[in-house]
């Protein structure tokens, strides 16, 4: 190799150069296959994870922008459910209902006669009917029936019969139906 430095190239110098270039090529190939391709695979995995994270982040941002709307809708639904439970309770509440029917009649200057009728039941509700008779002025009876139908609990007036008007007084008989929502109990061991 000293001859090479003197300006003469011998076959031995070419062999040394070829060996050095071969080792350098082997080192470059080893670096490419071991280090560079491994790094590329890790980089590809990170890029794929990044795509998933960006998609999740975008979805989370979309959800967060609508969360206030959903919260407001939830509050509205809760109000409707509460009102529904008050208007169609799961308990019969016969005594309090009777008192309210009597109070509404007294507010119109009437005294009701209330007689229970046999209830009927479906899978989801029980219909509890009463026969009500009141005597008084026509406008008082109409006001009483109107107040019953606007009552906080679902009430239905049917079979209304108003007798003849004599001396400013008439008698009205009608069926008043109230409802009770039936809550079915879950069967033990049943899938929820």
Cβ-contact 122, 128 below 8 angstroms = no
Would you state the structure tokens that stand for residue 25, as one six-digit string? 């090529």
Q: What does the pLDDT average to over 89-116?
A: 78
Q: What does the pLDDT average to over 113-136?
A: 87
Amino acid 4: pLDDT? 57
Tell whether the model's pLDDT for residue 13 goes beyond 60: yes
Tell whether the model's pLDDT for residue 29 goes beyond 70: yes
Cβ-contact 137, 145 below 8 angstroms = no
> In whole angstroms, what is the distance from residue 145 CA to residue 105 CA?
9
pLDDT tens per residue, range 132-147: 999 888 888 889 888 8
Q: What does the pLDDT average to over 5-23?
A: 80
Please tell me the least confidently modeled range out of 14-23, 31-40, 80-89: 80-89
Amino acid 52: pLDDT? 92
Name residues whose C-beta falls within 8 Å of residue 81's C-beta, 6 or more positions apart in sequence. none
Name residues whose C-beta falls within 8 Å of residue 120's C-beta, 6 or more positions apart in sequence. 126, 127, 129
Q: What does the pLDDT average to over 145-159?
A: 83
Amino acid 188: pLDDT? 62
Amino acid 32: pLDDT? 79
pLDDT mean across residues, the chain: 81
């Amino acid at each position: 190799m000293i001859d090479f430095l003197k300006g003469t190239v011998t076959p031995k110098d070419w062999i040394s150069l070829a060996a050095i270039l071969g080792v350098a090529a082997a080192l470059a190939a080893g670096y490419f296959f071991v280090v560079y391709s491994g790094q590329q695979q890790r980089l590809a995995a990170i890029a794929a994870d990044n795509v998933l994270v960006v998609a999740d982040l975008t979805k989370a941002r979309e959800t967060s922008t609508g969360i206030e709307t959903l919260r407001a809708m939830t509050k509205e639904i809760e109000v409707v459910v509460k009102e529904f439970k008050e208007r169609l309770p799961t308990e019969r509440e016969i005594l309090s209902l009777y008192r309210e029917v009597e109070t509404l009649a007294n507010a119109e200057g009437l005294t009701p006669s209330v007689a229970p009728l046999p209830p009927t039941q479906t899978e989801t509700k029980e219909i509890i009917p009463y026969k009500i008779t009141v005597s008084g002025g026509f406008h008082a009876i109409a006001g009483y029936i109107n107040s019953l139908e606007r009552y906080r609990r679902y009430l239905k007036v049917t079979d209304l019969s108003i007798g003849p008007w004599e001396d400013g007084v008439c008698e009205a008989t009608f069926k008043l139906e109230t409802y009770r929502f039936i809550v079915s109990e879950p069967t033990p061991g049943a899938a929820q």
